[in-house]
Amino acid sequence: MGYLFEPPAHVRVPVRDEGDFPVGRIICVGRNYAEHIREMGGEDTGEEPVLFMKPARAVALGPDVPYPPATTDLHHEVELVAAIGPGGVIASGVGIDLTRRDLQAGAKQRGGPWEIGKAFDNGAVLGTLKPGPPPSEGGIRLSVNGAVRQDGRLEQMIRTLPELLALIGKYFPLAAGDLVYTGTPSGVGPLLPGDTIEASIDGLPPLSFRMIDRKA
């Protein structure tokens, strides 16, 4: 006898011309752009980047994304996202690693894990994936209500996607269904209910969504 519930439908992400990508895990890289490390008060010391995870159910596809509970400082982080298939990377897209910065800062202060700042529902916004090899250069941008907030280049990544995949694989052997968020350039900042967010990476389907009140 089975159970009377199914995984949420949004854990299947649309892939352009290819149907859906079923999400297994969301593996995220922190501290992969030097300017973003600096804006967070650190320095690029050459150490391994931070790795953390979000649950598959954290995926949010828009066009409306509810503002999460328990924060007054929700930040956007635009990131190149790689989708892993049976033989390696099969597609890529534009993602936003939403971060409850106030809760993350508290967790850092206590020297604890970051889950309450990162792993909440609707915290992994993702656009339509494009099949094929991911871009390794080009612009990566995010604007809020038409004002540019993040305007970086994929070439600014401290570790390239192949280097990140090798590093992640040492700890979490990659498997079909994994999504890898590869870190954000500088310019992160707060979002509010009612904001319209547009994000793009050269060569990939653009992402746009509206932040809505949780109860709306």
How far the first Cα of the chain sits from its last, in Å, is: 37
Judge if the upstream peptide bond of residue 63 is cis by omega within 30 degrees of 0.
Answer: yes
Three-state DSSP string of 156-179? HECCCHHHHHHHHHHHCCCCCCEE
User: What is the x/- site pattern for Mn ion, positions 177-206, by CB under 5 A?
Assistant: -------x----------------------
- Tell the smallest beta-carbon distance from residue 17 to Mn ion (Å): 28
- Tell the smallest beta-carbon distance from residue 164 to Mn ion (Å): 12
- Retrieve residue 103's tokens: 């809760």
Looking at the DSSP assignment, which residues form a beta bridge with residue 179?
Answer: 26, 83
Number of residues that bind Mn ion (CB under 5 A): 3
Q: Which is nearer to Mn ion, 77 or 178 (CB)?
A: 77
Stretch that binds Mn ion, among 43-51, 91-99, 127-135, 195-203 (CB under 5 A): 91-99
Give the separation between CA 107 and CA 113, rounded to whole angstroms. 6
- Tell the smallest beta-carbon distance from residue 78 to Mn ion (Å): 9
Instruction: Identify the residue among 23, 71, 97, 117 touching Mn ion (CB under 5 A).
Output: 97
- Tell the smallest beta-carbon distance from residue 141 to Mn ion (Å): 15
Stretch that binds Mn ion, among 77-85, 108-116, 146-154, 162-170 (CB under 5 A): 77-85
- Tell the smallest beta-carbon distance from residue 22 to Mn ion (Å): 23
Q: Considering the rule CB under 5 A, would residue 77 count as an interface residue with Mn ion?
A: yes
Chain residues binding Mn ion by CB under 5 A are: 77, 97, 184
